Chain A
Amino acid sequence: MAVLEIILVIFLVFSALMAVYFDEELISIIFLSIFSLVLTALYLLHKAADVALAEAVIGAGLNTAIFMSAISQIRHGDSD
């Protein structure tokens, strides 16, 4: 249990650092999504099912979609 938690926390920090480190937006977004996923697992480990559900749905699902649509707008550069 404790080992699993430590591994997950390390993953959490790693994905957060990677999300900051890369300049490419797409990679950052994917790492953020991984971050949310790991966070969901951590929440579940601590028996916070409600928060885990919210984090999975919003952090890993919706946020990624919204960020993707935002960067697709940036790529096309048609922001008059």
Chain B
Amino acid sequence: MNKLMKKIMISVVLTGVAFALYQNFSLMPEYQGLNEGLSNYIIKSGLNDTGSLNLITAVLYDYRAFDSLGESTVIFGAVSGIVLILSRKMLPVSSKGLSFIVKRALGIMTPFIALFGFYVITHGHLTPGGGFQGGVILAAISIIFSIVYGSAFDYRRYSPQTKTLFETGGALTFLGLGLAGILMEGAFLQNLGFLTAETGTLISAGSIPYINIGVGFKVGAGLAIIFYSMIQKTFEEDF
């Protein structure tokens, strides 16, 4: 009975919130397409300004790169917090992994997943995707290793120290490119002019691909660390 009451209460509250949201969204003006405000400017001159064919990447890593730095820092903080809370003084517990067939099949597939991840990261300025998405795909490899081959395998292949190194390396790459922007162009995270090339080629769009690579490593390693500390008791990292 109590449970039912709780559910009814929750549904009443949710319906109320949904109604309020609907009421207010219906007040809003019709969406006027992309003719107004910033989006118009970005669509018109985004390619010229940044050299990135993918305008979303142009916004994320050029116009509003500082937000991306903040967002990847959120992941960095979350990783630190989870490692802090979950790490305990215990030996790693390892499972034996799944059956031979699964291991073989994924052994063949894993390189292609990695390739796809790197493709998404490095082609962030040309096709959909970018550092965040590609990084998560790379983290999936580590997750597959832990599930299919057992966590000890993952530990031996990529120890937490290596992952931490990748993570902080990615973060520092981002920060370093920003500081290079100050030195060479005059503003933090300004696109580096000397790196621009013909639009549409792999190495173009200034510092955007390099920021993507940094974010990719950072996110990938960070999420792998999160998953790793959740599936098992890790070693105490520091005392």
Direct contact of A and B (CB under 8 A): yes
The proximity string for A residues 25-47 relative to B, scoring 1 for CB distances below 8 Å and 0 otherwise, is 00000000000000000000000
A10 at the B interface (CB under 8 A): no
Contacting pair A53 B133 (CB below 8 A): yes
B192 contacts the other chain (Cβ, under 8 Å)? no
Assess A62 versus B129: contact at CB under 8 Å? Given A50-B56, A69-B227, A73-B230: no
B133 lies within 8 A of A50 (CB): yes
Is B54 an interface position by the 8 A CB rule? yes
How long is the Cα–Cα vector from A62 to B136 in the complex, in angstroms? 7
- Bound-state CA distance A46–B54 (Å) is 16
A6 on the B face (CB < 8 A)? no
By DSSP majority rule, is chain B's interface helix, strand, loop, or mixed? helix
A80 to B85, CA, bound (A): 12
Which bucket holds chain B's interface residue count? 20 to 34
Asked whether B128 is an interface residue with its Cβ less than 8 Å from the other chain, the reply is: yes
B189 within 8 A of A: no
Answer whether A69 and B140 are a contact pair too, CB < 8 Å, given A49-B128, A53-B120, A53-B133: no
What residues of A have a CB within 8 angstroms of the CB of B130 in the complex?
Answer: 50
Chain A contributes a number of interface residues (CB within 8 A of B) equal to 17
Mask for B202-220, Cβ within 8 A of A = 1, else 0? 0000000000000000000
For the complex, what is the distance from the CA of A22 to the CA of B231, rounded to whole Å?
24
How far, in Å, is A65 (CB) from chain B's closest CB? 5
Rounded to whole angstroms, the CA-CA distance of A72 and B56 in the bound complex is: 37
Q: A65 contacts B137, CB within 8 Å?
A: no
Q: Which of these, A54, A62, A70, contacts B140 with CB under 8 Å?
A: A62
Question: What residue in chain A is nearest B3 (Cβ atoms)?
Answer: A23
Contacts A53-B133, A62-B140 given; 17 further ones with Cβ under 8 A?
A50-B54, A50-B57, A50-B129, A52-B128, A53-B129, A54-B132, A54-B136, A57-B136, A57-B140, A61-B136, A62-B143, A65-B143, A65-B227, A66-B230, A69-B230, A70-B230, A80-B88
23 A-B pairs in the complex with CB atoms less than 8 angstroms apart: A49-B128, A50-B54, A50-B56, A50-B57, A50-B129, A50-B133, A52-B128, A53-B128, A53-B129, A54-B132, A57-B133, A57-B140, A58-B133, A62-B139, A62-B140, A62-B143, A62-B223, A62-B227, A65-B147, A66-B227, A66-B230, A69-B227, A80-B88
